[in-house]
């Protein structure tokens, strides 16, 4: 079961929102409903499952409903219709006191414009959520100091927000949200106000923190590059409706419609796609030291080679059937045969593994954190990614300038000249 379940959530802004719901059911567009009723559609029948421990990105253009959606999750906004469940509980049934407790302890939020209290020191800002929870001063300051160190701001606890750069203030906001140890972290365009370099640094820091903490993070952005860089899953909204939801590779390789395709058109695929998205199922792995058994495994395989663990977990080499047969004749131990290959992690970008994959004689083993062989990356697979990228670029150029892709007529024909008579073919 997902940690957060959104079912059929619609939000209409205006004096009589319930009266507009039947128009949603007929498929009227956001613009049509606004023109006919003066009401604005914020969300339209959204269904979402947000798993625990992942970064779930909601993205779309301005007015798509992404910020409206995130504010439903902590009930800063209530829906006109639909259900929202958190850990199996219907939060729309919460009374005022239960809702306040829910916001204080189960969800925290990082805002686009920092939202720091200017009259409080940095450590007091970070500890603010704990103060609201009633945690003692000494404990909350100690916990706040730990989080400041975690986000790279050790020593800045007694400074005030106006003495910090934009990136440093956003780190304070992130530390404050993490300090309460809430189940879910809501981040609404949290990095969009930052300069590009600082924004990239914050994305790196969030990814590094998530690798350690495994929090449930709902991240709102209008930037596809940011979504692809951070998200375990991505939901794309348009005019309040959910257009597509899935892992980054699925969004990139299989856009649901022209709207999504327009988002992903200019994405550099070799930077986004990872080894686990292009790998093939594992080829034969020999699991025995006995040469007779190894040869039986090899002969039953359609491939003339197999993988062998060569030493430490995660280290793999390759051995051919001919080498096994020679080893049997010369009584050479199997572990002395294998030629080690560079292994790659499942999350490694295709861009990073491209040189090794193209140079290797055999497919590269994809090895997880436990040293287990998960699959192989073939030379053909990485070439296809590069070729798809080139094809997509060519299609964009052709769409922009079709004349550039038309075959020019022969010079004589173009000039109106009559071609010279060709000699007859002999025979």
pLDDT of residue 426: 33
Paired sense of beta strands 216-221 and 184-188, if any:
parallel
Task: List the pLDDT tens digit at each of the 427 positions of the chain.
Answer: 799 999 999 999 999 999 999 999 998 999 999 999 999 999 999 999 999 999 999 998 888 999 999 999 999 999 999 999 999 999 999 999 999 999 988 998 887 776 788 899 999 999 998 888 888 989 989 999 988 988 888 889 899 999 988 888 888 988 888 888 889 999 988 888 778 888 888 888 888 888 888 999 999 998 888 898 899 999 999 999 999 999 988 898 888 998 898 888 778 788 888 888 888 887 788 878 888 888 888 888 888 888 888 777 778 888 888 888 888 888 877 767 778 888 888 888 888 888 888 888 888 889 888 888 888 988 888 888 777 665 655 555 555 555 544 554 444 443 344 333 333 333 3
pLDDT, position 174 = 87
User: What contacts 76, CB < 8 A, 6 or more positions away?
Assistant: none
Give burial (CB, 10 Å; 0-12/13-18/19+) of 278: buried
- 8 Å CB contact between 244 and 236: yes
Q: What is the DSSP letter of 191?
A: T
SS3 label, residue 9: strand
For residue 134, give both structure tokens. Answer: 């009633």
Q: Number of C-alpha atoms within 13 angstroms, CB side, residue 145?
A: 8
What is the pLDDT, as a whole number, of residue 419? 39
Tokens representing 271?
């930077």
Q: What is Dmax (Cα atoms) for the chain?
A: 103
Q: Are 216 and 186 in contact (CB under 8 A)?
A: no
pLDDT confidence of residue 398: 55
Rounded-to-integer distance, Cα 127 and Cα 136, Å:
10
**What is the reported pTM?**
0.75
Q: SS3 of 84, please? A: strand
What's the count of helices (H) and strands (E) in the chain, helices before strands?
19, 15
**In 78-181, where does DSSP find H-type helix?**
96-105, 122-126, 128-133, 137-150, 166-179
Cα–Cα distance for residue pair 70/48, rounded to 1 Å: 12
Q: Which residues neighbour 307 within 8 Å (Cβ) at sequence distance 6 or greater?
A: 282, 283, 284, 285, 286, 316, 317, 318, 341, 365, 373
CA dist 1 and 8 (Å) reads 17
Which three-class secondary structure state does DSSP give residue 405? helix
Q: What is the pLDDT of residue 43?
A: 96
Alpha-carbon span 307 to 294, nearest angstrom: 11
What crossing angle do the helices spanning 350-359 and 379-400 adopt, rounded to 10°? 120
C-beta separation of 24 from 33 below 8 A: yes
Token output for 346: 């499942």
Tokens 């997902």 found at: 2
């Amino acid at each position: 079961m997902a940690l957060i379940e959104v079912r059929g959530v619609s939000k209409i802004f205006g004096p009589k929102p319930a009266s507009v719901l039947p128009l949603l059911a007929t498929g009227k567009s956001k613009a049509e409903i606004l023109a006919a009723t003066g009401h604005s559609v914020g969300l339209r029948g959204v269904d979402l499952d947000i798993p625990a421990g992942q970064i779930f990105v909601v993205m779309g253009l301005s007015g798509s409903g992404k910020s409206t959606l995130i504010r439903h999750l902590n009930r800063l906004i209530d829906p006109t219709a639909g259900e929202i469940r958190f850990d199996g509980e219907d939060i729309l049934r919460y009374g005022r006191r239960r809702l306040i407790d829910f916001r204080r302890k189960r969800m925290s939020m990082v805002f686009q414009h920092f939202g720091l209290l200017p009259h409080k020191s940095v450590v007091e800002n970070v500890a603010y959520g704990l103060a609201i929870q009633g945690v003692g001063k000494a404990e909350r300051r100690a916990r706040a100091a730990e989080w400041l160190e975690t986000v790279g701001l050790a020593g800045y606890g007694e400074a005030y927000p106006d003495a910090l750069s934009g990136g440093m203030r956003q780190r304070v906001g992130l530390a404050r949200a993490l300090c309460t140890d809430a189940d879910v972290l809501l981040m609404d365009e949290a990095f969009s106000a930052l300069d590009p370099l600082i924004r990239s640094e914050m994305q790196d820091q969030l990814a590094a923190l998530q690798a350690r903490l495994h929090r449930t993070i709902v991240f709102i952005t209008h930037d596809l590059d940011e979504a692809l860089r951070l998200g375990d899953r991505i939901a794309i909204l348009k005019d309040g409706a959910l257009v597509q939801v899935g892992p980054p590779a699925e969004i990139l390789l299989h856009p649901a419609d022209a709207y999504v395709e327009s988002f992903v058109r200019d994405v550099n695929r070799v930077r986004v796609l990872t080894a686990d998205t292009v790998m093939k199922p594992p080829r034969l792995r020999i699991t025995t030291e006995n040469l007779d058994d190894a040869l039986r495994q090899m002969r039953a395989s359609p491939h003339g080679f197999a993988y062998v663990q060569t030493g430490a977990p995660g280290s793999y080499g390759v051995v051919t059937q001919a080498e096994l047969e020679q080893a049997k004749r010369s009584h050479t131990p199997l572990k002395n045969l294998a030629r080690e290959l560079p292994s790659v992690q499942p999350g490694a970008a295709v861009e990073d593994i491209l040189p090794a994959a193209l140079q290797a004689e055999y497919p590269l083993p994809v090895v997880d954190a436990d040293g287990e062989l998960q699959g192989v990356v073939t030379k053909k697979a990485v070439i296809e990614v590069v070729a798809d990228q080139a094809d997509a670029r060519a299609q964009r150029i052709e769409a922009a300038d079709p004349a550039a892709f038309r075959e020019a007529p022969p010079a004589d024909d173009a000039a109106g000249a009559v071609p010279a008579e060709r000699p007859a073919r002999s025979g």
